[in-house]
Every structure is written in C-alpha cells, then in structure tokens.
Amino acid sequence: MEKMSRVTTALGGSVLTGRTMHCHLDAPANAISVCRDAAQVVVAGRSIFKIYAIEEEQFVEKLNLRVGRKPSLNLSCADVVWHQMDENLLATAATNGVVVTWNLGRPSRNKQDQLFTEHKRTVNKVCFHPTEAHVLLSGSQDGFMKCFDLRRKDSVSTFSGQSESVRDVQFSIRDYFTFASTFENGNVQLWDIRRPDRCERMFTAHNGPVFCCDWHPEDRGWLATGGRDKMVKVWDMTTHRAKEMHCVQTIASVARVKWRPECRHHLATCSMMVDHNIYVWDVRRPFVPAAMFEEHRDVTTGIAWRHPHDPSFLLSGSKDSSLCQHLFRDASQPVERANPEGLCYGLFGDLAFAAKESLVAAESGRKPYTGDRRHPIFFKRKLDPAEPFAGLASSALSVFETEPGGSAMRWFVDTAERYALAGRPLAELCDHNAKVARELGRNQVAQTWTMLRTIYCSPGLLPTANLSHSVGKGGSCGLQLMNSFNLKDMAPGLGSETRLDRSKGDARSDTVLLDSSATLITNEDNEETEGSDVPADYLLGDVEGEDDELYLLDPEHTHPEEPECVLPQEAFPLRHEIVDTPPGPEHLQDKADSPHVSGSEADVASLAPMDSSFSLLSVSHALYDSRLPPDFFSVLVRDMLHFYAEQGDVQMAVSVLIVLGERVRKDIDEQTQEHWYTSYIDLLQRFRLWNVSNEVVKLSTSRAVSCLNQASTTLHVNCSHCKRPMSSRGWVCDRCHRCASMCAVCHHVVKGLFVWCQGCSHGGHLQHIMKWLEGSSHCPAGCGHLCEYS
Amino acid sequence: MRLATAASEAYTTPLAVSELLGCKQCAAGRDQDEVPGRGAERAAGYPGGWAPRRAILQVGSEDAQMHALFADSFAALGRLDNITLVMVFHPQYLESFLKTQHYLLQMDGPLPLHYRHYIGIMAAARHQCSYLVNLHVNDFLHVGGDPKWLNGLENAPQKLQNLGELNKVLAHRPWLITKEHIEVSNEGLLKAEEHSWSLAELVHAVVLLTHYHSLASFTFGCGISPEIHCDGGHTFRPPSVSNYCICDITNGNHSVDEMQVNSAENVSVSDSFFEVEALMEKMRQLQECRDEEEASQEEMASRFEIEKRESMFVFSSDDEEVTPARDVSRHFEDTSYGYKDFSRHGMHVPTFRVQDYCWEDHGYSLVNRLYPDVGQLIDEKFHIAYNLTYNTMAMHKDVDTSMLRRAIWNYIHCMFGIRYDDYDYGEINQLLDRSFKVYIKTVVCTPEKVTKRMYDSFWRQFKHSEKVHVNLLLIEARMQAELLYALRAITRYMT
C-alpha cells in the first residue's frame, strides 16, 4: 500500500480528505450506506450494525446500534439506507421480513424507532425517497413492495409485482413519483407511487434474477441494472420502449451497481460470488474496466460513493469483515496492463496490425519496411476533451498485403475443389490429383502424387520376376491368385476359360477384358467397404505384367464406375446413413494379407506335378517382391506427409491420408491425424468451402472428426404465421394449426427440403422449383416476382 | 446406433406402446440373458411404485405431451425406465428432470462418461439402492467402463476413491462438509498430484452425487420396481407382493408389514377423510390469524431449534439393523457410517442461514461458472418442483397449497440445519402430522428403510399422484440442501 496518497477535494464549502484505508469489522457486512455529510458510514450485516466516522487517517467506530442482550432477528440486516435529507434517519431491512427505522436523535441507547412487520418474507431492499422526508419503500422476497409513511404505523400502499421476490427498489432521482423495481425472474418494473394497482411499464432486462438497479444521478432516464447473467445494462427509459443503451459483460453475477458521481459514463459494480474486486466501468468501453479495486479478500457486498458530487472516494463493505475506503487514484487500471496491439492474419495471406498511433508512427519512422507493400489506414476517433482516456483511443491500423490481387491462396481453393479423394480406384485418384496439381503449377506436389501412384498401384516387380522365372506359368499362377482371393462370385468356368486362353499364349486382349470385368465385379461387391480397390489393384498387377499396360487399361477401367463420379455432391443429403465406426485396421490387414496366403496355396496346388522346389522358390520370391513396395515405402510416405504438414500444406497431408486410406493410416498416430484433419477442415471453412469440408469430414476415419457433422444437426424453425418456434414437427405449427410451408408448385406441404426465393419468400419442394424454373423465371405462386436462386 | 434407429422409429410411427416396450426389451436385452417368455408377464409395463396398478398410468393411454416425453426419454436412454413411468404423473417436472439427467450423464462435461456412471453407482450404493445401482452398472459397462471397478471402490482409480469420503459425508451428514474436504490437504480432493480433481470436475461430481442420493430417495420413497432386464426384474411375483421394491424383499423386513398393510387399508374411510378436512382447516387458520398473534423473536428462534431437535428423534419404531444387499455392499467401505448413529446420540447440527448462502444467488453462480449450463438446468428443476401445484388436495379443488409445500420444503431443510429467517417454524408442527414426518424423515435420511406401511399411513385420502408430488418435493429439497453445503465448502475453499 505504498502507493497510497492523500487527496483533498473542496466541494462547495465542505472539504473531503482521506486516503485508501480499511478497518476490520467484527462480522461480515451485508450493506453499507453513507450519511449526507459524507463523514459517516453505516455498516449492517447479520450480526453487525455500526456507524463509523470517516476520518482522515482511519475509520473510527462511533456508534453500535446493536443493543440489547439477546440478538434479535430484527437486527439481522439484509440492507441499510441512510436518509439523504435527514442525518438522523436510517432504515434497515431484516432477513425475517421486518423493516426497522432508526432515529439517531433519540436520547436513549436504543435508537430503534419504528417496526413494520408487514412483509411475510425476507426484505431485500429499502429505499428512502430522495426528497420527501417521510416516505420509505421496501421490496421483499414475497413479491410485494410496500410504501411506508413514517408518520403512520403501517404501510400506505402495497405494490404487487405479480412475481416472486423483489430484489431491488430505487426511487427515481428526478421523477418525483416514479420508482423502479427489479425481480428474480429478470423483469424490471416501473411504478407510479400513486398507482398501486398496476405498474406503468414492465420489460425483461436480464436472463435470470436482476439483483440491482441504479438511476443515473444526472441523466434523467437512464437506469443501470445488473443481473445474475453477469451483465450490466444501461437502459434509456425516456423512450416509449425501454432501450438498451449499453451493455457491460462482467465475469461474475453483478450484486450492486452504482453510478459514479460527476462522470457521466462511469459506474461501479461488485459481484456476488467468486470475484472479490470492485470495478469501475466506462459503459462505452464495456470490455476493460476503467479501474479496479482489489483490496477485499472475500466478496464485496456493499459499495457507496462517499459524496454525491465527488468521484474519487468509494466506500465498500465486504464479507471478509472489512470496511474500505478506496481512492480512485490508487485504483489499478487494467488498461495500462493491456496490450493495445492487435495482429491478425487474413485469409489470403494479408496481415493486419493495429496499435497505438504513437507506437506505429515511431516505428515506421525508424525503419521503413522494404519489399512489403504497405497500405496503412488510420482510424482516428473523434477526441472528446472530457474523455479521461482519449489518448488511448486513437490507434492506427496497418494492413500488409502479400501480393497484389490477393490471389496468393487461389491454389488452395482450386486444389480443394478439384481434388478427387474417393470413389475411384487409387491409381486414378492419384493421376487425377497429380494432374490437378500440375495444372496449378505445383510440380512437386504433382510429382508426389505420381510417386504415390507408382508405389501403391503398380507392383511392377512381381510380374517381371514371375516372367523371368517361369514364363509359361506366370499367367496361370496369377489367375490362380485371382481366383482364390478375389473372384469368388465369378463363374468358375470363366477362370478356367481364361486359363486356357492364356496357355495358348495370346492372352493379352483377353486378360484386359477379364480384368475390367473382374474389377467391375469386385467393386460392386465391395461397394460399401472402404478401400475396395485394394484387391483390384493386386489383381491388375498380378495378371498384367508391365507398367505401361496399366496405363492402357485405365480408360476401360474407369468405365464401370463413371456414374459414381458424376453424381453431384448434394449440399446436404436428406439423410445420410449413420455408419458405425469405420472398419478396423485388422479387417483390412486381412485383405492385404490374403493374396499371399491363398496365392501360395494355389501355386502349390497347380505346380504339384512340376519340380516343386523350383516353383516354390520362384513363387515365394515373386511374392516377396510384390509385398515389398507398400510396407517398404510406408515409412517414407509417412515422412513425406509429416514434411508437407510441417510446411503448412496440411491440405496435401490430409488428401494423401484420405486417398491412401488404410495403407498409411496405421503408421501415423491418431492424434496427429486428428490434428491434420481439424486444421484442414478449419481452413476449408474459412474459405467457405462447405461442401469440400463436409466431404473431408465424411471421409475421415478419425472418430473425433467424423462426429463433427453429426453434432447439432437440428434445424429450428419458426412458424411463418405466429412467429413461434415449431417444436414437434417442422411443417405444422402447434399453436395456429396451420401448415407452415406449402409448395407453391404442387400446393402440398413440404416436409423435406424447402427452397424459397428471398425476394418474395415463395418457395416449395426443391425438385418442383427446379423444374419450374426451367420453364419460367417468374414466381410459381403468381406474385409476379422474378425469382432468383443462387 | 441401434438405439438411434429404434428411437427414430418411435418418432415416426405412432406406436402402440406395447411395441415401444418391445423395443425397450430388445434394446435393453443387450447385456442380459433375458428370457422373453418370463418378461412377458410384466409386459404391461408396471413400473412398480406403491401406487396400485390402476393408479399408475398405463403406457398407451398417455396424452400427447407425455408421449413426447416418453419418446424423448426413450431416445436419450434407449429405455423407458420405471422412474420415468412414475414421474410422468407430473410431466412438467419430468421434462426438466430428464433434460437435466441427460445433460449430466451424456452431454459435454468435465468428467468422462464412465466416471459419471460410476459416481452414480457410488452415490446410489450409499443408500443401498440396488435399483439404481443395477441400472448404472449396465450403463457403466456399456460406455466402456472397466468391470473390475465394480468389485469395489478399492478397485477403482485413486481419484474416485478420494471421492468416497465426500460421498459418505454428503449422503448422511452434509453439514459436516468443510473446506478441508475440498482443500489441498491430506484428505482433500484438490491435491496437487495426478489423482487430484479440478474444480470443474469436482462440481460435476458433486452435482451427480447429490442427484443420485436424492434419486435413491425417490426410488425408495415411491417403491420403484427393478427394471425388467435387471436382476429380479423379470421374476414373476404375485400382484400382492409385486408392490414391493426388490430391496425390501432382500432386506427381509416386508413379511411383518404385509399383515399391517392390509389392516391399514381397512382404516375407516371417514376417519381419514377428516384428516384432510383438519389439514385444510389448519391451513385456513394459519392464513388468517397469521398477523394477529406475533411470536416473539426468541420464540421464533426456539421454534426452529425445537423442530430441528425433534426431527432427529422422529423415527419409525422399527429401525432394526439392516443388512445391506450383498451385491451393493461392496461399494462402501464403511457401512456403519449412516444417519442413524448420529441421530441416536442427538448430535448437534449447526445452523446454516439460507440468507447468507442461498441457491439462487450463490449456488447458482458457482455451479454455472464451473460447469456451465448445469446451474440453469438445476435451477429450473428446483423452480418447477417448488412451484408445482394443481391447486388440489385429495378431493378438494382450488386450494392454495403453497403454504403446505413451503412447510414440507422447509422441514426438510430444517432437518439439515438450514434455516430461513423469515419462516415461522411453528407452522410445520401445525401442518405436518407425525406419520407424515416419519415418512419424510425416512425418505430423506434413510431411504432404504422406507416401507409400504409408511407410504400408506400418511395422508390416507390423498391421491397417489399427490404422494409422488410430495416425493418430488422431498428429493429436490434434499438435493438443494446437500448442494448448498457442498458448494459453500467449495466457495470457502476458493476464497
């Protein structure tokens, strides 16, 4: 506390002096209130009720109002208020529902004046009329507000809030007859003191209880409210409907709010739970508090500005049994600690940088950037001389563009859109993607795709080995393989037939035929399992022989699958089937392994009459070779993926991951994969490539990623007639019993996809509207609007 | 996935509910070698409860709102459990209850799924509620929990074992919870090591514990039967016995009651009719003459103390030693620690002033800060339970029951030492008669000892739905009381 200083202010004759100080109370305080002369403060709590004199150096206990041997619940105060006109008059609200007034002028030790026991529940708040000497208002948990005339024994009038629990009542400072009350259900009501039958105005201010409110001391119609929803809102009550002027988001529920005197936009808040600090906010700057008092060790329960015209002294009471006087000068100012700089990357590689103007000016003066195109744009706020932090408010924004035209990321979008990730055999996907990359001038990537294709799709070693060892048997051997593991459904005759053909020696054309048909069959069989092209590729390699023949094959090969590729990707399918977790690695492992096992068996069988040792040797050699590529290269491929990801080209990493599927997945740990996927999806969504990102999500095998498009799949609709949400069904409103969405073409209810023109809001079934628009561009409803659909 | 598809069927086709139950059985049959033939005897879907069969809503006769609730519940849980079927007497509450429970168990939260169910098991086991334990053992295994943990708390991770102490105190003597239970100390939970709990996790665990403690109260208080797929659920029992919760049978204290139950039902109707009349008369009197005779402050304070002290001695005479059902007992280490031994010795319960720490202001803010959205859900649930009324009392209509409801609520809080400054505890004595107090006390503090006789002997003229309503008040008040103590301790730890 070495920063403490003394401040002396002269206010129309009276002089306020003091420093930041605190004193220990015997018990937790619930509320405090200041006397009109700003020299005394009353502290009230469950077991404390004392008046302290505020002296220059310290608080001095002046009077203990808690007299009598037995503690009474009447003295257990929830709130206390000191009359602003009469220095001798105080009122307290007791937790048992009693309102007590105290007259300090009484000669006896017991200053208790009057007792009102009209409320049935705890009284949360009492409030004196700002100018009238005898009018007291109370708000209670039982939902009633009562107005007492202190000259009478009982209440003058009772106001029913039609709700449980009044949390705060405050007389308007300027309007003689008006007071505001806040409620546990989030409402704020405005009452005329003369009309107890109904409130003048009611509106919902907060979500959850409104704990407090405070009228602006100068601005006639401003009311600040604080609630459990951690917000402070400032309302303009002069207009017909209460208008929210400002909203401050705090970090804990707001227990008290008090406007700062002489500072039009400042208010002080304290919270009910968790947060012990007192904040002073500038309502126009709702994110950073203007000042912060951190003296208390437990929640602050009461705050009061010491003098109605002095903005520098704040008093507070707390549950930590202490009473504090805070000096605004000693407050910590979070603004000073905040970094007034902001830095952001744009989508297309631009960089924006905002900072205090002085800072930017100094730096650019010192060392101008070279090579960068720089377009500094300056925003200057209009300076308000009355503004305490005007200096901070002016800032500069600089934007750095990487290249003119902003086409730097064009390749990303193009690639994302044009890459094929699934639905075709591996070889073809690789080729396609390589082509795309090459067209975009990314040769390294293109090369990578080609290499991948070579690694995974063309086991060229096997046939050469086969041929070199046993030219005559190569064919039959391959066919055996094929028969045993792939074409279970093929007619056995077909296999034998080919074998016959093959043995004749001119096998080429036939095998081509056979191959395409075989792939066709296997693909049909395996359509729903991922990686169905694995066996097909093996098949190709086995039967064929040389690399270039594979290329020859390609056109025919694609043919049977073409329809699948042409199918447009619907923006969102009506209902995509919910697939269980994708097949586990062991399943595919089986598939990959099966060729060897069954192949060797078949070989043994077919080669039995021959010299077995020789043939076995040859076959095993061949199989070894054929097995080599995928496993051998997987480390390399993994490193390659990591390389691309490190380089920032996560697109490549994910695309390869998807295309290769199970071949590489097991080599890369789950978390890395998930990380790549999420980064890529995030990027795609920034570029608004929703369809691509959805496809990636769908194709991913990581559980965490694939559940992304299964979360929050509900679409809430409101009825077009009564504007209420339609809860049970999307097409019939429960309230007005009307069908909400009719198709303008067929005049039936649309239960699925509903498309409508945003100009005239007519619409209907997607197909119907599409069909209609082929013939006419006018609205099918006949409204004459020229409908536009994107 | 199977559940999801089954649920969508339930939405699209207007199911006769017998079909729905059929789904339920096959969905639930995943982990049970259930013989369908035997289950069929109960296929009418009698959820148990001490309300007679005719008073319970027959599934299939529900209105649209209830049907929607059933469908939601079925979609969320893959079953329509008996608790739901009993609670559907009060659909408004049920909706909120299911929403909260769903959020606690299945939605985003700091604890992993199997922990949540395990904590549920721990909490229910404190009251030897085999119904809830079985239900959550199934769920626990279904979400991939380690079956070894079920052999006892000592087989669970250290982290959960650390929760055991809090569970014990919370269930039986919540007022003893101090910040030392929470603190970074020997016994505390927030130790700075690997088994420690974060504050958010702790709040989640506390909410789950209190939820299941009070749900155990409900299960016993209404005598819910075991689910059809659980142990004992599919045994055929003659209707007269089927009114019992399986736990009672295993506890072996039903044979005596059987006789008395029948005799209790013979109590002359006129006699019990007067009960209602008398109660209403008292309420009227209290309403009118409330302002006239003002009790002094000391009087008010002593009334609370008296009520609190008395509440400890309110106990049914037949609280014999209970041997816990074997399968459940493994979850406690310390069966002897219960509500009973302290009440016998008349231990002093310190007073907790609700004006200093209440749910609406403090508890809510804390929960919502550490476990977002749950505060809101629980708050709604408390509100609905507290304000639920149909303005009926037995055969009377248009009765303002707020006074009675408040008396019940405050009586329960009083048993936990929670005091409302603005309440005259004399009202409790006027409104709640002894047999009712016995029932409340037993349900809230030692639910495992509730018998059908207790259920029958209070408020004899009241409808069963009203007795379920009372149970809702009981469990929510209990939950709030436990939460208040636990959250206060956490708050003290944080400050």
Closest Cα of chain A to B172: distance in Å? 27
Tokens 């769920």 -> residue: B139
Residue B260 placed within a domain? no
Give the chain B residue whose CA is nearest to the CA of A227.
Answer: B361
For A185, residues 6+ apart whose C-beta sits below 8 A from its C-beta are: A163, A164, A165, A209
Which residue segment(s) compose the domain that B349 sits in?
A: 63-226+274-494
The answer to whether residue B187 neighbours chain A at the CB level (below 8 Å) is no
Band of the pLDDT at B453, cuts 50, 70, 90? confident
Q: Distance from B277 to chain A by nearest Cα, in Å?
A: 25
On chain A, the residues whose CB falls within 8 A of the CB of B179 are none
pLDDT of residue A254: 92
Place of tokens 């006419």: A776
Angle at A439 between CA A434 and CA A445, to 5 degrees: 40
Same domain, A700 and A634: yes
The answer to whether B421 contacts A211, with C-beta atoms less than 8 Å apart, is no
**Nearest chain B Cα to A98, which residue?**
B422
pLDDT for residue B190: 61
Q: How far is A678 from chain B (nearest CA, A)?
A: 19
Q: Is residue B269 part of a domain?
A: no
Q: Would the pTM of this model clear 0.95, i.e. be above it?
A: no
Lowest mean pLDDT among B9-13, B374-378, B489-493: B9-13
B149 has a pLDDT exceeding 90: no
Look over chain A and give the mean of its residue pLDDT values, rounded to a whole number. 73
| A685: in domain | yes
How high is the pLDDT of residue A631?
67
Residue A182 pLDDT greater than 90, yes or no:
yes
Quick check: B195 and B159 in contact, CB under 8 A?
yes
Name the region of A97 (left: φ>0; alpha: ψ -120 to 50; beta: rest).
left
CB contact, 8 Å: A386 with chain B?
no
> Alpha-carbon distance B80 to B114, whole Å?
21
Contact A751, A730 (CB under 8 A): yes
Rounded Cα distance, B369 and A590, in Å: 51
Pick B367 or B6 by higher pLDDT.
Answer: B367
Helix (H, G, I), strand (E, B) or coil at B391: coil
Report residue A238's pLDDT band, with 50, 70 and 90 as the boundaries. Answer: confident
Is B68 at the interface with chain A, CB within 8 A?
yes
Are B422 and A252 inside 8 Å of each other by CB?
Answer: no
Shortest Cα–Cα distance, A230 to chain B (Å): 9
Q: Is residue A430 part of a domain?
A: yes
- pLDDT tens string A377-429: 444 444 444 444 444 456 677 777 665 554 567 788 888 888 888 888 888 88
Smallest CA–CA distance from B363 into chain A, residue: A273
Only one residue has tokens 């094959």, namely A553
pLDDT tens readout for residues A595-610: 443 444 434 334 344 4
Which is more confidently placed, A396 or B241?
A396
What pLDDT shows up at residue B254?
Answer: 35
Mean pLDDT lowest among A183-192, A227-236, B129-138: B129-138
Lookup result for tokens 């004992």:
B232
B2 vs A contacts (CB less than 8 Å):
none
Q: Which residue has the higher pLDDT, A515 or B432?
A: B432
pLDDT, mean of residues A350-378: 55
- Degrees, nearest 5: CA angle A572-A573-A579: 115
DSSP SS3 for A776: coil
* Confidence bin at B461 (pLDDT 50/70/90): confident
Among partner residues B294, B365, B376, which is closest to A253 by beta-carbon distance?
A: B365
CA A361 from chain centre, in angstroms, equals 36
User: Residue A475: which pLDDT band, with cuts at 50, 70 and 90?
Assistant: very low
Of A122, A276, A580, the CB nearest to B355: A122
Per-residue confidence band for A751, with pLDDT thresholds at 50, 70 and 90? confident
- % of chain A surpassing 90 pLDDT: 14
Residues of B in contact with A228 (CB under 8 A): 360-361, 364-365
* B432 CA: distance to closest CA in chain A (Å): 20
Classify A215 as helix, strand or coil: strand
Please count the structural domains in chain B.
1
CB spacing of B361 vs A253 below 8 angstroms: yes
Closest by Cβ to A122, choosing from B4, B364, B422: B422
pLDDT, tens digit, 9 for 90 and up, residues A130-170: 888 889 999 998 889 999 998 888 888 999 988 878 999 99
A210/B contact by beta carbon, under 8 A: no
Do A274 and B494 count as a contact with CB atoms less than 8 A apart?
yes
Contacts of residue A74 in chain B, CB cutoff 8 Å?
297
Q: Is B291 exposed, middle or buried (0-12, 13-18, 19+ CB in 10 A)?
A: exposed
Place A730 in a pLDDT band, splitting at 50, 70 and 90: low
Do A194 and A178 form a contact (C-beta atoms < 8 A)? no
Contacts of B301 in chain A (CB under 8 A): 73
Is B365 close to A252, i.e. CB distance below 8 A? yes
Domain end: A655, A690, A710, which one? A710
Sign of CA dihedral B135, B140, B142, B146: negative
| Contact B494/A at CB under 8 A | yes
Q: What is the pLDDT of residues B316-341, one digit of tens each?
A: 444 444 444 445 545 554 555 555 44
Q: Does residue B21 belong to any structural domain of this protein?
A: no
Least confident range from A262-276, A362-376, B90-104, B255-269: namely B255-269
> Measured between alpha carbons, how far is B134 from B231 in angstroms, rounded to an integer?
8
> How close is the nearest chain B Cα to the Cα of A73, in Å?
6
Name the least confident of A92-101, A338-347, A405-414, B98-107.
Answer: A405-414
- Compute the count of residue pairs across chains A and B with CB atoms less than 8 Å apart: 75
Residue B333 CB partners (closer than 8 Å, separation 6+): B153, B154, B164
Mark which residues 1-40 of B lie under 8 Å from A by CB. 1, 4-5
Q: Compare CB distances from A76 to B365, B421, B494 and report the shortest one's residue.
A: B421
Which residues of chain B lie closer than 8 angstroms to A752, CB-CB?
A: none
Q: Is residue B460 within 8 Å of B467, Cβ to Cβ?
A: no
Interface test with B, best of A96, A100, A321, A734 (most B CBs within 10 A): A96
CB-CB contact of B493 with B427 (8 Å)? no
Predicted pLDDT of residue B290: 55
Is A73's CB within 8 Å of B298's CB? no
Q: Is residue B16 part of a domain?
A: no
Nearest to A580 among B1, B361, B491 (CB): B1
Q: What is the DSSP string of A137-168?
A: EEEETTSEEEEEETTSSSEEEEEE-SSS-EEE
Query: CB contact, 8 Å: A72 with chain B?
Result: yes
- Could you say which of A710, A741, A761 is where a domain stops? A710
**Does one domain contain both A634 and A694?**
yes
Q: Does B300 touch chain A (CB under 8 A)?
A: yes
Q: Which residue of A has its CA nearest to B490?
A: A274
Q: Into how many domains does chain A fold?
A: 2
Answer whether B366 touches A (CB < 8 Å). Answer: yes
Q: Is the minimum CB–CB distance between A495 and chain B shorter than 8 Å?
A: no
Query: What are the residues facing A314 on neighbouring strands?
Result: A305, A326
Phi/psi-derived region of residue A162, left when phi > 0, alpha when psi is between -120 and 50, beta in every other case: left
Lowest mean pLDDT among A185-199, A599-613, A730-744: A599-613
| Percent of chain B clearing pLDDT 70 (strictly above) | 62
Is B373 contained in some domain?
yes
Q: Are strands A135-140 and A123-128 parallel, antiparallel or unpaired?
A: antiparallel
Residue at A663 is within a domain: yes
DSSP codes of every residue in B112-171: -HHHHHHHHHHHHHHTT-HHHHHHHHHHHHHTT--GGGGG-GGGS-HHHHHHHHHHHHHH
Binary contact (B300, A211; C-beta < 8 A): no
pLDDT at B45 over 60: no
Cβ neighbours for B67, distance < 8 A, ≥ 6 positions apart: none
With beta carbons under 8 A apart, name residues in chain A contacting B361: 209, 211, 228, 253, 272-273
Contact B422 A580 (CB under 8 A): no
Per-residue pLDDT, averaged over B376-397, amounts to 86
Taking residue A671's Cβ as centre, other Cβ atoms within 10 Å add up to: 10
Tell me whether residues B491 and A273 touch, CB distance under 8 A: yes
Name the more confident of B183 and A679. Answer: A679
Q: What pLDDT is attached to residue A517?
A: 42
Most confident of A402-406, A517-521, B231-235: A402-406
Residues from chain A that touch B369, judged by Cβ atoms under 8 A, are 252, 273-274
- SS3 letters across B129-141: CHHHHHHHHHHHH
Q: What is the DSSP letter of A470?
A: -
Residues A373 and A432 reside in one and the same domain: no
Rounded Cα distance, A676 and A693, in Å: 13
Query: A296-332 burial string, b = 16+ CB within 10 Å, else e?
Result: beebbbbbbbbbeebbbbbbbbbbbbbbbbbbbebbe
Helix-, strand-, coil-residue percentages of chain B, each rounded to 5 = 65, 0, 35
Tell me how close the Cα of B169 comes to any Cα of chain A, in angstroms. 25
Angle at A743 between CA A739 and CA A744, to 5 degrees: 120
- Does A95 sit within 8 Å of B353, measured CB to CB? yes
Q: Supply the mean pLDDT for chain B.
A: 70
Distance (Å, whole) CA A534 – CA A329: 75
- The answer, yes or no, to whether residue A553 has pLDDT greater than 50, is no
Strand order in the sheet with A31-34: A31-34, A40-44, A49-54, A59-64
Does B361 contact A at CB distance below 8 Å? Answer: yes
For residue B206, being part of any structural domain is answered with: yes
Is the residue at B335 inside a domain?
yes
Q: Are the CB atoms for A387 and A364 separated by under 8 Å? A: no
Supply the residues of B annotated as catalytic.
129
Query: B214-250: b or e for each residue (b if 16 or more CB lie within 10 Å)?
Result: bbbbbbbbbbbbbbbbbebbbeeeeeeeebbbbbbbb
Given a contact cutoff of 8 angstroms between Cβ atoms, the answer to whether A173 and A130 are in contact is yes
Q: Does the pLDDT value for residue A327 go beyond 50? A: yes
- The rounded distance, in Å, linking the Cα atoms of B342 and B168 is 14
In a domain, A677, yes or no: yes
Task: Please indicate whether, in this complex, the C-beta atoms of A728 and B68 are within 8 angstroms of each other.
Answer: yes
- Reported residue count of chain B is 495
A interface test, pick of B361, B370, B377, B420 with most A CB neighbours within 10 Å? B361
In a domain, B246, yes or no: no
Q: What ipTM does this complex have?
A: 0.70
A95 touches B: beta carbon within 8 Å: yes
Which of the four pLDDT bands, split at 50, 70 and 90, describes residue A535? Answer: very low
- CA-CA distance, B102 to B113, in Å (whole number)? 12
Give the residue from chain A lying closest to B379, CA to CA: A208
Residues A451, A394: one domain? no
Determine which of B67, B70, B203, B297 to mutate to test the interface with A (most A C-beta atoms within 10 Å): B297
How is residue B217 written in tokens?
């109260």
Whether the CB-CB separation of A210 and A182 falls below 8 Å is answered with yes
Candidates A164, A134, A131, A165; CA nearest to A147 is A134
- How many angstroms away from the CA of A92 is the closest CA of chain B? 15
Nearest by Cα to A211 from A265, A253, A260, A160 = A253
Residue numbers of the domain that contains A349: 342-382+389-400
- Given an 8 Å threshold on Cβ–Cβ distance, is B4 in contact with A578? yes
